[in-house]
Structure 1
Amino acid sequence: MVILSLVSCSVSLFSPPISLRLHFPLFSHVSFPASTFKPELRPLLVCCLQRRETAHIHRCNCLTCTIDGETQIESLFSLFRDIGFKEEETEMILAKNPDVKSTPLDKISARVASLQSLKLDGFALQGLIAKCPSLLTSEELDLVITFLVDELEGRLDPELVERILAASDTSFLLSFNQKVRLLIHHGIPKEKISYVLSKVYLNKLMYQKSVEDIERLISYLEPFGGIGIIARRPVILNSDLDTQLIPRVEFIRNLSGEDDFATGTVLRRLPAILSYSVDHMTSHVEFLKSFAGLTSEQVFKIVHVFPNVISTSKERKLRPRLEFLKDCGFDSPGMFKFLSKAPLFLALSEDNLSHKLGFLVKIGYKHRTRELAFAMGAVTRTSSDNMQRVIGLYLSYGLSLEDILAMSTKHPQVLQYSHTSLEEKLEYLIEYMGREVEELLAFPAFLGYKLDSRIKHRYEEKLKSRGENMSLNKLLTVSAERFSKTADNIEVICL
């Protein structure tokens, strides 16, 4: 039996083999027709031919894959080089996320371009990709990034975008779009959404709160100001509705006598009041009731005007300020009246009050008097620097400390007005109206009227009717209707 060595063969891919080129040790380049071989050998020969052809195709495919793979890697290194990565840093990223090598280059380039459109560039983009290389390949992020770019129009601060996209578990981002859309739907403007999201605990909001939880929270606050309160105090979104928000809101509502509108006013003025526990608020209310002798209704009226009283320290501020009022001769009704008009007195720092107290004593106020307390209440709304400038201004126009004391006793607000505004009014009084500064002693409230719309307007109208000698009091305090009639009568008489 002769053993043949099949070295090479040629065959049509679409027809049975007709001839075979066989290489024998003694006969090279000799062709034999396929019919030469016994029928039982023909299947073996065809099998050999097919196996050889398959191997040839496989080797070609491997070569093509190798070339494509090398091109992909080179392109990736070029792309990462443009971003700012060194070669070894790129190798680390590819090792950390091998999917990058098998992801189409145009898709990775598009993802990088989207991140750059969100103002992520330079070190920020490098850091984010190095920390989370899955950003380049994650299918789950497609909708999120599209939402950030298209719907939010790239309004989020880059630092916030980093916090959102750097989440260790991208699955929580699947509800991100829904929750943000919900906030926008209820009234948060797109231009404020970055501020809102930057103030909340993102992990808590995204992981622990469902869309339904957020919807319930907004709906509950709706009668009191709803989304407006959240816009001013976004951290409210982190609160638990049942165990935190509802008990706190209900406490304020009960204190108001179940007045939803008044409760909403307190919440809108100080949304941060919802960060205080019911025990804390109860403690402050009970202190004001027991130490100052106020009723629950009176306490709420003070809270309504000045919600910050709830955040003021009882021992460092409330107690000594209320003791001061008692020393000045105020009883409970008197303290309520005083605090309703000057609640800021309870919250100012000790240094602030001590400086103002020093100025008041300097111009002649006596310790432990109601006049001193009223003056202190009046100057709570101005700074120590402005108060000093005001006193200096009065002195520069010829008034004495005694005159200033007399004016402020009669009209305490003269010490709280802006020194710039006062200077304009004093100049107009003396230079244009031709009056003496001493007239202010009889009517210091002149300094509280608006210069253009009240003082100038009425004085110029009186000039037309020759009534320029009218007293400051009559000139400014009569109603607009009576003023018009008086001016008309004077004009008729003169004619």
Structure 2
Amino acid sequence: MQDTLPFLSKNNPFPPSLSSLHHHKHHDFPSLSRPRNLHFPTFSSKTITIPLPPKPPKIPEIPSISPPPSSHSDFQEKMLYLDSIGLDFFSLIQHHPPIITTSLNDLKSTVDFLTSFNFSTLELRRILSMCPEILTTNPTSLLPIFTFLFREARVNGSDLKKVINRRPRLLTCNVETQLRPTLYFLQNIGISEVKKHTSLLSCSVENKLIPRIEYFQKMGFSYRQTISMFRRFPQLFNYSVKENYEPKLNYFVVEMGRDLKELKEFPQYLSFSLENRIKPRHQCCIEKGVCFPLPVLLRTSEVEFRNRLEVCCNSSLPFKGSPLWCTKNCDIE
């Protein structure tokens, strides 16, 4: 946009700074005589328009920077507080960084809430070390979990601490989206006393429980047989397909030459250590030419197994009614 300068006109072609000089002769002002080779601009009678410089761009305002959520003193206070109950602050934030931004008051509220259920300092240390996410869980979110365990899972009050100590991750689960759907699933397949298997409540039905059922069906078991195995031994849901099922079932079929039907009667086979119990005892039986039923092979203590092995050397497979068939009062790994 161009503007006309008002002090330049036909009657007064000189700027104000030169107008007074126009009425005096040069000899009156020798210091202002025109030097050689210096050309002064000439002005016409026409109006002169001079473009104005463009407006400078508007500088955006710098947003104010909010202070960090936790000052240095708060950081130290949290570190000292957690250290006072035996927790390594740096180890906790390594596994669960949100602890850094959680206020000291919130941390204390959560610990005080758990203490109100008579958890000892040693128990709190173990629970929070195993699952640091609990520290950033508000007590208002923890209360529905305890209520669910009491009223819906039917956990006895005297067993509550044992349940949490066994599976601290329960305290980070949502009742509506995880705990209750898992409870209904377990009840629907015939596991009535879920309170004895509360560690399963933190498992995902879609990502963990159903895939394990499907794996046994792929192995050749019918759906009814599979459900019967999980109903008899719900701990099967806790085992990994890759690290437990596959190597143990492969050894069972290929090396031991057993029929999968035996697993239908004794799914606990998958709970024993492959290297420390299954392989050594199977090798002993091969050397002695003895074939024991799975419960006798795995459930009996080491001393009892050796005694039975010596007595039954070169004997045939005992019947279920035989005293050699032992399913009770035996050590389990």
TM-score normalised by the shorter chain: which range applies?
A: 0.5 to 0.7
CA distance in 2, matches of 1:324, 1:426: 26
Write the letter of the residue equivalent to 2:98.
V
Cα pair distance change 1:401/1:481, threshold 3 Å: same
Aligned to 2:53: none
Q: 2:217 aligns with which of 388, 391, 398?
A: 391
Give secondary structure in 2 for the equivalent of 1:248: helix
The superposition leaves residues 80-114 of structure 1 with CA deviations (integer Å, 9 ceiling, x where unpaired) of: xxxxxxxxxxxxxxxxxxxxxxxxxxxxxxxxxxx
Aligned to 1:337: 196
Aligned to 1:261: 122
Aligned to 2:33: none
* Aligned 8 A contact 1:306 1:343 in 2: no
The sequence identity of aligned pairs, in percent, is 23
2:203 is the counterpart of 1:203: no
Cα pair distance change 1:443/1:327, threshold 3 Å: closer
Give secondary structure in 1 for the equivalent of 2:93: helix
Aligned to 2:80: 219
Aligned to 1:246: 108
The superposition leaves residues 150-192 of structure 1 with CA deviations (integer Å, 9 ceiling, x where unpaired) of: xxxxxxxxxxxxxxxxxx99xxxxxxxxxxxxxxxxxxxxxxx
Shift of 1:330: 8.7
Query: Unaligned 5+ residue runs, structure 2?
Result: 1-63, 316-333
Shift of 1:464: 2.2
Shift of 1:225: 1.8
The superposition leaves residues 349-397 of structure 1 with CA deviations (integer Å, 9 ceiling, x where unpaired) of: 6xx17xxxxxxxxxxxxxxxxxxxxxxxxxxxx364454233212x1xx
CA distance in 1, matches of 2:168, 2:236: 27
Cα pair distance change 1:485/1:437, threshold 3 Å: same
* Aligned 8 A contact 2:225 2:264 in 1: yes
CA distance in 2, matches of 1:309, 1:329: 22
CA distance in 1, matches of 2:212, 2:314: 46
Shift of 1:329: 9.0
2:276 is the counterpart of 1:453: yes
Cα pair distance change 1:238/1:286, threshold 3 Å: same
Aligned to 1:476: 298
Answer 1 or 2: higher relative contact order, Cα 8 Å, separation at least 6.
Answer: 2
Aligned to 2:95: 232
Give secondary structure in 1 for the equivalent of 2:99: helix
Write the letter of the residue equivalent to 1:267.
L
CA distance in 2, matches of 1:405, 1:325: 10
2:279 is the counterpart of 1:279: no
Write the letter of the residue equivalent to 1:229.
L
Aligned to 2:14: none
CA distance in 1, matches of 2:123, 2:249: 41
The superposition leaves residues 29-77 of structure 1 with CA deviations (integer Å, 9 ceiling, x where unpaired) of: xxxxxxxxxxxxxxxxxxxxxxxxxxxxxxxxxxxxxxxxxxxxxxxxx
The superposition leaves residues 319-357 of structure 1 with CA deviations (integer Å, 9 ceiling, x where unpaired) of: 5555677888999xx453342x42315xx36xx17xxxx
Cα pair distance change 1:319/1:445, threshold 3 Å: closer
Aligned to 1:94: none
CA distance in 1, matches of 2:238, 2:217: 10
CA distance in 2, matches of 1:325, 1:405: 10
Give secondary structure in 2 for the equivalent of 1:459: helix
Cα pair distance change 1:221/1:428, threshold 3 Å: closer
Shift of 1:470: 2.4
Give secondary structure in 2 for the equivalent of 1:203: coil
Query: Unaligned 5+ residue runs, structure 1?
Result: 1-167, 170-200, 354-381
- The number of equivalent residue pairs is 249
Aligned to 1:305: 166
Cα pair distance change 1:487/1:392, threshold 3 Å: same
* Aligned 8 A contact 1:220 1:226 in 2: no
* Aligned 8 A contact 1:414 1:447 in 2: yes
CA distance in 1, matches of 2:236, 2:135: 37
Shift of 1:434: 3.9
* Aligned 8 A contact 2:173 2:179 in 1: yes
Give secondary structure in 2 for the equivalent of 1:262: helix
Q: 1:462 aligns with which of 285, 293, 296?
A: 285
Cα pair distance change 1:316/1:459, threshold 3 Å: closer
Aligned to 1:9: none
Cα pair distance change 1:424/1:236, threshold 3 Å: closer
CA distance in 2, matches of 1:327, 1:383: 13
CA distance in 2, matches of 1:250, 1:411: 37
Cα pair distance change 1:224/1:330, threshold 3 Å: farther
Aligned to 1:140: none
The superposition leaves residues 457-480 of structure 1 with CA deviations (integer Å, 9 ceiling, x where unpaired) of: 11221222232x322221222111
| Higher fraction of helix | 1
Aligned to 1:87: none
Shift of 1:260: 0.6
Shift of 1:232: 2.4
Cα pair distance change 1:425/1:342, threshold 3 Å: closer
Write the letter of the residue equivalent to 2:137.
Y
CA distance in 2, matches of 1:433, 1:320: 39
Correspondences of 1:69-108 after superposition (within 5 Å)? none
Write the letter of the residue equivalent to 1:226.
D
Aligned to 2:262: 439
Deviates more, 1:267-276 or 1:315-324: 315-324
Write the letter of the residue equivalent to 2:100.
L
Shift of 1:429: 3.6
CA distance in 2, matches of 1:429, 1:328: 27
Write the letter of the residue equivalent to 1:251.
F
Shift of 1:271: 1.5
Q: 2:307 aligns with which of 457, 460, 485?
A: 485
